[in-house]
Structure 1
Amino acid sequence: MTNTPTNAPRTRQPQDNDEIDIGFLLGSLWDHKIFIVVLAAIFAAVGLIYAMLTTPIYKADALVQVEKKSGTIPGADMAKVLGNGEPSTSTEVEILRSRMILGQVVDQTDLDVQIIPHTWPVVGDWLRRRGIERPGFMAGDDSVWAGETLRISELVTSHDSQTLQLILRSEGRGRYSLLDTDGNPLAPGIVGQKLTVDEPWVELIVSDLTAPAGATFSIIKKSQLAAINGLQSRLEIQSRGQDTGILQLNLTGPDQQEIVESLNATTDVFLTQNIARQAAEADKSLEFLEEQAPKVREQLNDAENRLNEYRLKSDSIDLSFETRNALNSLVSIEASLNELELQESELARRFTPNHPVYRSLLEKKEQLLREKARLEERTENLPETQQQILRLSRDVKVTQQIYVQLLNRMQELRLARAGTVGNVRILDKAVVQGQVAPRRDLIVAAAGIGGLFLAMIIVLLRAAFSRGIVSPEQLEELDLPVYATVPLSEEEKRRSDKRRQIKQDRRRKDGSIKGLLAVRNPADLSVEAIRGLRTSLHFAMMEGSDNRLVITGPSPSIGKSFMATNLAAVCAQAGQKVVVVDGDMRKGHVHEAFKEGSHDGLSEVLSGKLEFEKAIRTSELEGLSWVSRGSAPPNPSELLMQPRFTEFLDYLSNTFDLVIIDTPPILAVTDAAIIGKLCGTSLMVVRFGVNTPKEIQIAENRLATGGVTLKGTILNAMEKKAATSYGYYGYYNYAYKSD
């Protein structure tokens, strides 16, 4: 009996829902919690390994005090009060970071020479830090192990701004070979002796080499600028408090000894430079005074000679009381004016004439000049002889005072230069405070959190782009009735996984992966759901034109054969006479459920090699028979379209109460449409979370194009998931089992 509907393909579209379901996303995270935790643990372990293998960075610090200078001339203290006195500590910070200071540090500590031992990749440095010495089987290897060192006391090259790299290989017994970066030998050398190479020009003295033959080191000679820039990048200077003048110097690096030596050299060079800078001021002033002293002495001699000559000429020896008073006053004013001129010369280098301190000095100078002019006016009434003696005596006394002041000032400057200590004091020498990088706890935490977020992103993206059917309501939105929702059987899942593994390994199948679940475990939740399908199917087939049921699906591996064989089993257990036909002559595996081979089946029947009754096999379950797929033919679709297939179906319909046909996926081949056209009822198996609404729509349209009306669907392999409230649907809520 055949069924030839004329329905046109359906063109309805599935409903799209672009809203974000927060509960679904959170549930997806919970469903994949093991994956998330494992990935986070893997990332944390990788972070821990990285933190252990990374070269540690240490920090050393030192403390320096910059004191304020005391004023050297009157008025200087007032200048500081007015805000133009001592420079701030920021000036000293910039001096500390200057190439003038750091360049001397580089020269003193040989920071322009870097020695890099060759070690094993990744773990070599860690082994050296752990103190692992060279094992016996590594004799002659070029790697460097703990206790093997190289020290260079002198390395001079001809380069100015470029970095030169060389390779030094130990030859044992205090000898070594110098190579270029390509491994070409340049010259042999002996520890403690100078080695000279012409091209490239190099002078090298190795002071110590404790490494066996074969151990190799890379030697990098940096330019001074590159070494200074490297030191600047590692040096940090901080001011402690406001206006305290205390600076903290921090230096980081992988070598504890190097950072201590470099930081101590920095503070020492800074202190020496500061003392030299303070002494330079005294040297400059002393140099000027030493130039002026002979000139003033010569002026004093000339003044004394003129006075003596005039006295001899005029026979005037003594001065009157009034003349002596005027002379003393004029000399005092002249001395004050000379002192003001010295002050003015120093202030002129620091301030403009409009500065209050400078203006005060000029006003005092003008007052003295007026007083001098008044005294000179008084002396004009004296006799000519007394006036001349007065002028000459004044010149002598003033020049004499100036000369004495110069001598005193020179002596003060000599004492100041000898006792110059500068205004910088080193409070704390450099000391290593500990390891600052890598921060193991932080790296492990960051890696673990990164792995956690990455796993969550993967799960959320997968959930966001997953379009698989997860509820019966989604099928009903496509106007497809749902006859049953069958939960996933963990036992069958394990057996299916084992079956796939055996197929992949191309090993022989045995009975351990075969058998019907309905016979093996009748109380399984999946079997209970199939019993419900049996009841629904009884009423559905009452509307059909025959007793034939087609089980198909949109794609492979969704449980069609499982559904067909176990549905047949539960129907046979209910007293019906049932036959299962494997309609997939390409890759059908119904025979595995009955623990037999696939030979002598449907393909042999359709090709006329086997009679109808001989193709039907009985099973261990009473009332259940089956037909295998037979040998794989080259043209399955053509065989199904022959009249012999229709005759075979009629024979089965007349012989059995129910004929169940397992067909190939409709989206892969057209066999399901050919078979479905000859049967009265067709059901489509949909895999939970695998088949998308679009696939189901296309599969339904393809069946309709072939003249097959789809009766409904079976939602198979339902899983208990937090991502969807449908996870607790149906038989997950209730299970009734016998003792």
Structure 2
Amino acid sequence: MNTDSRNLSKPSSKQEDDDIDLMALLFAILRGWKVIVFFAVLGLIIGILYSRYVNPTFQSDALIQIEESSQGITALGSDISDLIGSEASKAQTEAELIRSRMILEPVVNLLHLRIRLSDPTIGYLDRIKSNVTSTQINTPEGVAIETENGQAFISQFNVSQAYLDKSFTLTRSATGFILSNGFDEFKGQFNQPHQFSGSNGKVQITVADLPVNAHPISIMKQSLQNTTNAINSALTVTEKGQQTGIIQLSMTGLRQQQVTLVLRHIVLSYVDQNQSRGSQETTKTIQFMETQIPTLKKKLEDSEKTFNKFREKSGTIDVGQEAGILLTENSQIDAQLNELKLKKADLTTYYTEDHPLVIQINEQLDVLNSRKQEIDNTIAGLPEVQREFLQLSEDTAINREIYLTLLKNYEQLKIVKAGQIGFARIIDLPISTFNTIAPKKLQIWVLATLLGAMLGAILALIKSLLRNVVKDPERIEAKTGVPVIATIPRSPILTRLNKKKSSSRRLLAYADNNSISYEAIKSLRTNLVFGMPSEGLGFQRAKVILITGESPGVGKSFISSNLTEVFTQLNKKTLIIDADMRLGQLHKVFNMDQANGLADYLSQSNDQFKKFDNPLIGMDNESGLIGSDISEFIYSTGIENMDFMPRGENPRNPASLLANGRFDHLMTELNLHYDYIIIDSPPVLAASDAMILAQHADKVLMVTRYEDSIEGQLVYAVNQMYKANIQVDGIILNDVQQGIMSKYSYHYSYTYGNNN
């Protein structure tokens, strides 16, 4: 025993290594492989359940070509094209137009997409078991859904604003159906339109069929905005390539026929809107011409009638060359004025008077009117008869030219309208492929497994960081100030044997005497032999070694029993005492009973114990044997030179028994008859027995378990011994596991023996 506080080495518990050891982190993760495998398997199970829970998703595709401009008008000539102008459309603009309510609303109304049906009896487990659950199908006739008790078919369902996006329940009754929402309840008959008045407005419904056995059906009328948003979330409209003018439409859903039908009607709705939009300009021009043609015809007839009367009255007049030139020029100016007026009338249907094109035409009209005024002034200087002749003939020619031009353009536009097809062309309509695009089960399983493994690795790392276990001998020495005098590797053979209840011998000498574990125990013995204090004068005194630990389960009994056995090989008489009177298990190592041991000896009455006041009483000095009163508590183990004192029956106050002086008498007597006494004591943090027993020890050893003991607990246990003025002489790192995941291992498989 060494209790000189001046020689105590103060542990440098505050010394910390702040460097991050990446290899140590990797090993910490690998050591948690069981946690990683558990979470990986758990993730795989969740992935499998999820892939069965989610309904399969299908997809349909369609292609539309967007032409830069319509070719129907330009094919008839540049003149009529100039009257109408050109229209250009970009694919990106049209892609956004397809997603608008203008295109989607007709489809929503045609297929009753605002009516939502579902089966409330299908739960989470049902979806996992069946893998595929029935969903609604929309047709122009109504909405249907299949259940295990039959089909539900609704052909009409309209509600007031307050009932939108609110769920109702439909059930079959003896006479028809019952519609309820928890507050209102309406009754009706099949295949008959009904209008009900509820607390929040009116409800119109026509039910064609419902499942039997009162199977409920949930029904809801969605708002138009929510319905179009749902369609747009499933609809993808993109231009295929760059500047190709080809738009690809893709739509996903839970039922292939439903997806194909909805996408088909979206394509047709867009094409119809596109065609009507493309012919709108031509239609307006034709309507304008139809209003002008009768007026111009009447004006031409009047001018011809007046001119003919003048000719009948005045006869034929020879107009001079100058008058002819003026007449021709005036006619041309009138034709140009008429053409400009037509263009202006067409432009003003789209633009205001302030538009640059309208202003430009007004300027041209001003120039022509100015020239016409000059010609009129010149003609005014001609003789009266000639002037009147020229005036009447000019009016007739102008009216005829205007009428014929307008009539020609009118007929041409009618031909254009008949052949006008718009600038959108359907390339591919959607078809049903019945190929699921989701869930991709294999990808889900792999991803779920990887995520589970990652979560397990993170938890293993966090556990390793938070639960700072004993691993590095150098770190232990730095934190406790106590040298690690031995590292004992795990014995796989002994570990397997200890799991078998039928195994009788658990000492390394009998189970695994050719192992590095056994060699490590022998190395510990050598360290202790040379580290023991030299013997003084007087009576022979045994070398006492106390073996304890910071907490239960560190393997101190394993170290004590095997260390005692290797001491016997030195031809030294040894005794091992199980001083853990609470939970000692050494008697199982030697296949003995725990009764009649240390606790029983210390619990003797005072009268029985008086004869031990003199340690020589009861001793047979000639034979060197222990007196009969003590010998009845000590047993031979069957191993030469090795005796054993079990813990005895469970006492109520083990610490008090050790402190009442009787243990001192016991050690005084035993010291005379043994060379080595090894005491297996309770853990330091579990009981104070080790501090009492250490008063009789020459060496105090602390056992800790590799990658199991908590580093902080070990440091605290050593500090507790120091506070009691007890020096811990060494730490034994037990159960060191070798391998790639064990960074700190100082043993190699190097043994002598017969390998045959």
TM-score (norm 1): 0.85
Query: Is the contact made by 1:62 and 1:430 (CA closer than 8 Å) also made in structure 2?
Result: yes
Inter-CA distance 619–242: structure 2 relative to 1 (3 Å threshold): closer
Q: Distance in 1 between matches of 2:411 and 2:577?
A: 125
Residue 429 of structure 2 aligns to a residue in which SS?
strand
Inter-CA distance 6–93: structure 2 relative to 1 (3 Å threshold): closer
Question: 1:226 is aligned with what amino acid?
Answer: N
Match of 2:739 in 1: 721
Match of 2:319 in 1: 321
1:395 offset after TM fit, Å? 2.3
For the aligned residue pairs, the C-alpha RMSD in angstroms reads 3.7
Match of 1:594 in 2: 590
Query: Is the contact made by 2:235 and 2:251 (CA closer than 8 Å) also made in structure 1?
Result: yes
Deviates more, 1:539-548 or 1:661-670: 539-548
Query: Is the contact made by 2:107 and 2:265 (CA closer than 8 Å) also made in structure 1?
Result: yes
Structure 1 unaligned runs (5+)? 133-142, 499-509
1:512 offset after TM fit, Å? 4.1
Deviations 1:551-595 (A, max 9, x none): 111111101111112222232344322221111122222222122
Match of 2:519 in 1: 528
Match of 1:180 in 2: 180
Match of 1:111 in 2: 113
Deviations 1:233-290 (A, max 9, x none): 2221122344443222111111111111111111111222223223433333333333
1:60 offset after TM fit, Å? 0.8
Deviates more, 1:271-280 or 1:67-76: 67-76
Structure 2 matches for 1:689-704, cutoff 5 A?
689-704=707-722
Structure 2 matches for 1:56-455, cutoff 5 A?
56-67=56-67, 68-70=69-71, 85-118=87-120, 120-125=122-127, 148-159=150-161, 162-170=164-172, 177-182=177-182, 186-187=185-186, 191-199=190-198, 201-209=202-210, 211-300=211-300, 302-304=302-304, 306-307=306-307, 315-322=313-320, 323=323, 326-347=326-347, 368-369=368-369, 372-373=372-373, 375-432=375-432, 434-455=435-456
Q: Distance in 2 between matches of 1:667 and 1:568?
A: 24
Q: Distance in 1 between matches of 2:458 and 2:114?
A: 48
1:56 offset after TM fit, Å? 1.7
Match of 1:730 in 2: 747
Inter-CA distance 128–699: structure 2 relative to 1 (3 Å threshold): closer
2:687 is aligned, of 669, 691, 697, to: 669
1:672 offset after TM fit, Å? 0.6
Q: Distance in 2 between matches of 1:604 and 1:572?
A: 26
Residue 646 of structure 1 aligns to a residue in which SS?
helix
Query: Is the contact made by 1:515 and 1:595 (CA closer than 8 Å) also made in structure 2?
Result: no
Q: Distance in 1 between matches of 2:208 and 2:504?
A: 75
1:561 is aligned, of 557, 564, 570, to: 557
Deviates more, 1:655-664 or 1:118-127: 118-127
Question: 1:269 is aligned with what amino acid?
Answer: S
Counterpart check, 1:620 vs 2:616: no
Match of 1:138 in 2: none
Q: Distance in 2 between matches of 1:689 and 1:115?
A: 59
1:698 offset after TM fit, Å? 2.8
Q: Distance in 2 between matches of 1:336 and 1:380?
A: 22
Q: Distance in 2 between matches of 1:326 and 1:78?
A: 29
Match of 2:548 in 1: 552
Deviations 1:594-616 (A, max 9, x none): 22332222222112158433221
Residue 486 of structure 1 aligns to a residue in which SS?
strand
Q: Distance in 1 between matches of 2:203 and 2:666?
A: 98
1:644 offset after TM fit, Å? 0.9
Inter-CA distance 255–540: structure 2 relative to 1 (3 Å threshold): same
Counterpart check, 1:657 vs 2:675: yes
Deviates more, 1:64-73 or 1:623-632: 64-73
Inter-CA distance 76–495: structure 2 relative to 1 (3 Å threshold): farther
Inter-CA distance 655–128: structure 2 relative to 1 (3 Å threshold): closer
1:222 offset after TM fit, Å? 0.7
Inter-CA distance 700–216: structure 2 relative to 1 (3 Å threshold): same
Question: 1:157 is aligned with what amino acid?
Answer: V
1:717 offset after TM fit, Å? 0.9
Deviations 1:501-522 (A, max 9, x none): xxxxxxxxx6647754434443
Residue 396 of structure 1 aligns to a residue in which SS?
helix
Query: Is the contact made by 1:552 and 1:663 (CA closer than 8 Å) also made in structure 2?
Result: yes
Query: Is the contact made by 2:118 and 2:218 (CA closer than 8 Å) also made in structure 1?
Result: yes
Question: 2:556 is aligned with what amino acid?
Answer: K
Counterpart check, 1:645 vs 2:643: no
Match of 2:138 in 1: none
Residue 685 of structure 1 aligns to a residue in which SS?
strand
Query: Is the contact made by 2:27 and 2:742 (CA closer than 8 Å) also made in structure 1?
Result: yes
Counterpart check, 1:540 vs 2:536: no
Inter-CA distance 354–55: structure 2 relative to 1 (3 Å threshold): same
1:661 offset after TM fit, Å? 0.9
Q: Distance in 2 between matches of 1:648 and 1:108?
A: 103
Residue 376 of structure 1 aligns to a residue in which SS?
helix
Query: Is the contact made by 2:66 and 2:89 (CA closer than 8 Å) also made in structure 1?
Result: no
1:662 offset after TM fit, Å? 0.8
Inter-CA distance 340–74: structure 2 relative to 1 (3 Å threshold): farther
Deviates more, 1:674-683 or 1:185-194: 185-194
Inter-CA distance 320–326: structure 2 relative to 1 (3 Å threshold): farther
Structure 2 matches for 1:597-612, cutoff 5 A?
597-609=593-605, 611-612=629-630
2:705 is aligned, of 663, 683, 687, to: 687
2:492 is aligned, of 484, 490, 493, to: 490
Question: 2:739 is aligned with what amino acid?
Answer: K
Q: Distance in 2 between matches of 1:348 and 1:203?
A: 47
Match of 1:584 in 2: 580
Q: Distance in 2 between matches of 1:663 and 1:79?
A: 112
Q: Distance in 2 between matches of 1:451 and 1:738?
A: 46
Query: Is the contact made by 1:327 and 1:394 (CA closer than 8 Å) also made in structure 2?
Result: yes
Query: Is the contact made by 1:43 and 1:448 (CA closer than 8 Å) also made in structure 2?
Result: yes
Deviates more, 1:239-248 or 1:252-261: 239-248
Question: 1:198 is aligned with what amino acid?
Answer: S
Residue 13 of structure 1 aligns to a residue in which SS?
coil
Q: Distance in 2 between matches of 1:661 and 1:626?
A: 10
Query: Is the contact made by 2:149 and 2:215 (CA closer than 8 Å) also made in structure 1?
Result: no
Inter-CA distance 705–185: structure 2 relative to 1 (3 Å threshold): same
Query: Is the contact made by 2:580 and 2:681 (CA closer than 8 Å) also made in structure 1?
Result: yes
Q: Distance in 2 between matches of 1:469 and 1:127?
A: 48
Inter-CA distance 217–127: structure 2 relative to 1 (3 Å threshold): farther
Q: Distance in 1 between matches of 2:46 and 2:673?
A: 67
Deviations 1:627-647 (A, max 9, x none): 222222232222111111100
Q: Distance in 1 between matches of 2:281 and 2:490?
A: 94
1:675 offset after TM fit, Å? 0.7
Query: Is the contact made by 2:505 and 2:590 (CA closer than 8 Å) also made in structure 1?
Result: yes
